[in-house]
Amino acid sequence: MTRTQYYTAASLDGFIADPDNSLDWLFQFGDAEGTDYLEFIRDVGAIAMGSTTYQWVLEHHVRPPAGPAQPWPYTQPSWIFSSRSLPRLEGADLRFVQGDVAPVHEQMLATAGGQNIWVVGGGDLAGQFHDRGLLDDVIVTIAAVTLGAGAPLLPRRITSPPLRLLAVQAYGTAFAQLRYEVTR
């Protein structure tokens, strides 16, 4: 059964990007090898992200300032939330949407073919899915750094009922992954 999952990496003090939208603090540890990312992405059938995240992927992965251009990194259909007209990409299944996440979630469910929905970020977009009762899991891989400021992990007050901790996993000396289920 499809689960809608906010899967992300964060600093110990709860930021997913620094104030300049940099992820250098994260990539100092190398790529995702050694974490469960490859296992996670195998079960993903649809992807959602906000425009800052989309532009980050374009600027740092697809058209990096140094090094060759690369294709869009996801084979799954990806829904990009923005109120603006953003650059399109040849060869990528991108669907630009705005407003209420609920009807978009319905489209994603229909497309995911029973696989999971990955809410890549940012934190407020994950919060919008939670606001509508559509978020099932929060899976955070905490890096052994603090940032002091930046893009918040999940800017919502979720206290009652609290999230339910399902699993804790260490990855070397850099990462601790916390897996929570949203209780309803």
Ligand X SMILES: NC(=O)c1ccc[n+]([C@@H]2O[C@H](COP(=O)([O-])OP(=O)(O)OC[C@H]3O[C@@H](n4cnc5c(N)ncnc54)[C@H](OP(=O)(O)O)[C@@H]3O)[C@@H](O)[C@H]2O)c1
| Binding interface with ligand X (CB under 6 A) | 8-9, 16-17, 21, 23, 26, 49-53, 56, 81-84, 98-99, 101, 120-125, 128, 151
Nearest CB to ligand X, comparing residues 100 and 113:
100
Nearest CB to ligand X, comparing residues 23 and 158:
23
H-run or E-run covering 165: strand 164-171
Closest residue to ligand X, based on beta-carbon distance? 50
Name the minimum Å distance from CB 57 to ligand X: 7
Nearest CB to ligand X, comparing residues 102 and 166:
102
Which two three-digit tokens encode residue 79?
A: 């829904």
Nearest CB to ligand X, comparing residues 51 and 115:
51
CB environment 99-136: b (16+ within 10 A), e (fewer):
eebeebbeebbebbeeebbbbbbbbbbbbbbbeeebbb
End-to-end CA distance of the chain: 17
Ramachandran angles phi, psi of 151, nearest 5°: -85, 125
SS3 68: coil
Name the minimum Å distance from CB 160 to ligand X: 25
Name the minimum Å distance from CB 124 to ligand X: 6
Name the minimum Å distance from CB 93 to ligand X: 19
Nearest CB to ligand X, comparing residues 153 and 163:
153
Name the minimum Å distance from CB 95 to ligand X: 13
Ramachandran angles phi, psi of 55, nearest 5°: -70, -30
